[in-house]
């Protein structure tokens, strides 16, 4: 702090006399300077920084400043508390909304209506008839039950129905053994083939859900290029991956559709990669596994499940002769010698009598004994 003297005019020169003395607390020099100024009639003015300070005003000002600071601190504290309350309430609201969204999603999924099915699979299967063309049908609407294909056992062709999983090795064995004789029957207009793709082996594909993806690919072909379905299905078994692997990729499934000569290839590719009929596959599988008419004597659904004119085939999947005889019996007449079954696998490859192929069971909470088909 410094002080300065108020101006005093000397009458003659009219000069301003200023005495400025630094003031550091209570030291003697400062006191003497102040006393001298009083003796000579020089006013004293105390300075703080660059401006004048009055001791009484400065005390009042300090009091006011303290009050103002306290007020500012209170206001800041009030605003901070308000902001914290807002953040807390906002966080609680966001958390509550997240919980509601999760619960809603769970509820919606639990009561999810059946997904719309593909065209030409109103029975949950596609019927291959004359010239290996598909029999056209409407798509299965949301919530609609499948419409079973009518079977004319009197005058109509033999109706062969197969429920299969493209990941099922026993289905592959049945296909390899009986595909040629079934194709001959279709070519001669003696039979129709109805294929029902299902997905019961997703837990065997190391998390890739190959059973679902392959059945969805079949639905895509049925929907966009139905007359290519027979060739597509045959190629799926020719390229069947081993059970317990990841299965084929989506790109490989698309490549198979290309090899089958499908129409609307771009639509089918998108259908496969987007899993367009994934919900339908799940619903169709549930309907098949829950159908008591499709269960074996152990009360379990398995693949392949083969019906001929509505009667379940219980022979060995890898026994072509047994299947041919069963078809003839179901039709009520003998077939011509031109319809010869494909030779069964040799004893070295897979002895049918000693080690018959087993039906692939649907997963269960407690695995049921695997069924060994009667010879």
Tokens 């056209």 -> residue: 136
CA angle 142, 312, 243 (to 5 degrees): 70
- pLDDT for res 28: 53
Q: In the sheet that 51-52 helps form, which strands lie side by side, from edge to edge?
A: 20-22, 2-5, 44-48, 51-52
- pLDDT for res 5: 45
Q: Is the pTM of this model over 0.85?
A: no
Domain ranges of the chain: 2-53, 126-361
- pLDDT for res 348: 37
- pLDDT for res 340: 52
Per-residue pLDDT of the chain in tens (375 residues, 90 and over written 9): 444 444 444 444 444 444 444 444 445 555 555 555 554 554 545 444 444 445 555 777 777 777 788 888 888 888 888 888 877 777 777 666 767 666 554 444 444 444 689 999 999 999 999 999 999 999 998 889 999 999 998 889 999 999 999 999 999 999 999 999 999 999 999 999 999 999 999 999 999 999 999 999 999 999 999 999 999 999 999 999 999 999 999 999 999 999 999 999 999 999 999 999 999 999 999 999 999 999 999 999 999 999 999 999 999 999 999 999 999 998 885 444 445 555 544 433 333 344 445 566 665 433 333 332 322
- pLDDT for res 103: 54
Contact 42, 19 (CB under 8 A): yes
- pLDDT for res 20: 46
Please say whether the structural domain 126-361 has been given the CATH code 3.40.30.10.
Answer: yes
In sign, the C-alpha dihedral spanning 233, 238, 241, 247 is negative
- pLDDT for res 68: 82
């Amino acid at each position: 702090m410094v002080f300065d003297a108020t101006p005093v005019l000397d009458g003659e020169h009219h000069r301003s006399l200023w005495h400025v003395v630094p003031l550091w607390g209570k030291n003697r020099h400062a006191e003497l300077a102040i006393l001298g100024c009083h003796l000579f009639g020089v006013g004293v003015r105390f300075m703080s920084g660059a401006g004048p300070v009055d001791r009484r005003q400065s005390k009042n000002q300090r009091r006011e400043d303290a009050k103002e600071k306290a007020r500012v601190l209170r206001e800041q504290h009030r605003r901070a508390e308000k902001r914290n309350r807002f953040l807390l309430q906002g966080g609680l609201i966001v958390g509550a909304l997240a919980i509601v969204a999760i619960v809603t999603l769970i509820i919606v999924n639990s009561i999810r209506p059946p997904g719309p099915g593909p065209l030409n699979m109103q029975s949950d299967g596609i019927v291959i008839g004359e010239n290996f063309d598909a029999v056209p049908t409407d798509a299965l609407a949301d919530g609609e039950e499948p419409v079973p294909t009518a079977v004319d056992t009197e005058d109509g062709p033999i109706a062969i129905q197969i429920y299969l999983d493209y990941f099922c090795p026993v289905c592959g064995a049945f296909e390899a053994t009986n595909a040629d004789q079934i194709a001959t029957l279709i070519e001669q207009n003696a039979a129709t083939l109805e294929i029902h793709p299902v997905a019961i082996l997703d837990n065997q594909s190391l998390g890739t859900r190959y059973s679902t993806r392959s059945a969805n690919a079949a639905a895509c072909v049925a929907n966009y290029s139905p007359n290519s379905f027979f060739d597509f299905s045959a190629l799926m078994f020719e390229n069947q991956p081993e059970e317990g692997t990841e299965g084929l990729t989506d790109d490989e499934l698309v490549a198979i559709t290309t090899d089958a000569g499908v129409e609307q290839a771009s639509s089918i590719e998108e259908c496969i990669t987007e899993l367009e009929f994934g919900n339908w596959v799940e619903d169709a599988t549930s309907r098949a596994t829950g159908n008591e008419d499709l269960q074996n004597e152990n009360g379990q659904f398995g693949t392949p499940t083969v019906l001929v004119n509505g009667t379940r085939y219980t022979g060995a999947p890898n026994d072509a002769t047994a299947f041919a005889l069963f078809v003839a019996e179901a039709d009520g007449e003998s077939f011509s010698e031109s319809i010869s079954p494909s030779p069964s696998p040799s004893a070295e490859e897979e002895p049918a009598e000693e080690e018959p192929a087993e039906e692939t069971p649907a997963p269960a909470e407690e695995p049921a004994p695997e069924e060994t088909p009667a010879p």
